Amino acid sequence: MIKVGIVGASGYTGVELIRILSLHPEVDIVGITSNNHEGREYSDLYPSLKGYINLRFDELCEAEIIRKSDVIFSALPNGHAYGLANEVVAKNKKLIDLSADFRFNDFSVYEKWYGPVPLIDQKVKRIYGLPEIHRMEMKDVNVVANPGCYPTSVILGLAPGLRYGLIKTEGIIIDSKSGVSGAGHKPSFANLYAECNESVKAYGVACHRHTPEIEQELSYLSESNIKVTFTPHLVPMTRGILSTIYCELRDGITLYIVREAFEEFYSNESFVKILDDGQFPRTKDTYGSNNCHIGLAYDEHTGKLIIVSAIDNLVKGASGQAVQNMNNLFGLPEDTGLNLPAIYP
């Protein structure tokens, strides 16, 4: 059994990790922590998990959680995983971090968008943890940077087109919409029901923190420097992300060629589903699952390829993908504990 510790288990990504891992056949959850709920029974905070987990938020220090665990999931806010990573690596354990702390190849990019980077042990070997792109590079790492939710939907949507050189790298436009849970568990005025309900708003326009993460991975796939126009929107639903991506095909490339390439690229992937001609994703169809649905269309009027991608922001966009990464680190089939259809309706 894989012994798992979860640091910062009281937020939405934390509770989603518990929901998934409590049913995982190869996992034993040995410790959970929270700064605000020490000593409290987990199922008292989240009654939906009563009978599935019988743990209290641990009063032990993080060092003790690390000692007891084979792998630690960190669901802490940005900027808090660096010291934890140093301790995990020193104990020869694994860390899967759900914040942005280790997502960038160049730490100066992180500093520009998030803030200062503390001193990191040179033994920390990290990888950007999008399994469909980087799984073969994960074997020798001790820290996996779990991707952001928006970037997951966008990168999976664009990866085949860029890897096979089917689309132009200039002028890519991304319009993404997310449910309110993407803002996290911490209360804020902007996320009150009366503020969100019956309203859609753009935010982070021309300055959203996920932009450089998206550009880093798209540049890797295309082996060129890519810049994108990315605009996220908040919509009045609990979960889900829908990204609509507009790009131009290279000369001689047809929608048929694109579809063949997407189906080939994802032919051995458990969680990426390419929809049939004329079908397009709905967030409802990925709700509660680790799946990504992708639809394709060509607009003859404008000459644009339109890619529509949908995920559950808390599962494939966060905790489900983290478990997928854990499975990969420990040599399990990636769909272990995750092979469940969406909840519908």
How far, CA to CA in Å, does 219 sit from each of 24, 129, 155?
A: 35, 16, 10
Report pLDDT digits (tens) over 186-195.
778 888 899 9
Name the pLDDT band for 60 (thresholds 50, 70, 90). low
* Residue 308 phi, psi (nearest 5): -115, 125
Cα separation, 242 vs 153, in Å, equals: 8
Cα separation, 202 vs 63, in Å, equals: 41
**Domain architecture of the chain: domains with CATH:** 2-124 (3.40.50.720), 150-314 (3.30.360.10)
Question: Looking at residue 186, what is its pLDDT?
Answer: 78
Q: One of 149, 196, 247, 292 is an active-site residue; which one?
A: 149
| 196-199, Cβ contacts within 8 angstroms, sequence gap of 24 or more | 196/234, 196/236, 197/236, 198/236, 199/236
Alpha helices of 178-330 — where are they, by DSSP H? 193-196, 210-222, 255-265, 320-329
Contact assessment for residue 6 and residue 17, using Cβ atoms and an 8 Å cutoff? yes
Question: Looking at residue 188, what is its pLDDT?
Answer: 84
Cα separation, 132 vs 45, in Å, equals: 34
Question: Looking at residue 2, what is its pLDDT?
Answer: 98
Cα separation, 100 vs 272, in Å, equals: 23
User: pTM for the full model?
Assistant: 0.96
Average pLDDT value over all residues in the chain: 95
Question: Looking at residue 302, what is its pLDDT?
Answer: 94
Residue 96 corresponds to which amino acid? I
Whether 149 is catalytic: yes
Name the pLDDT band for 59 (thresholds 50, 70, 90). low
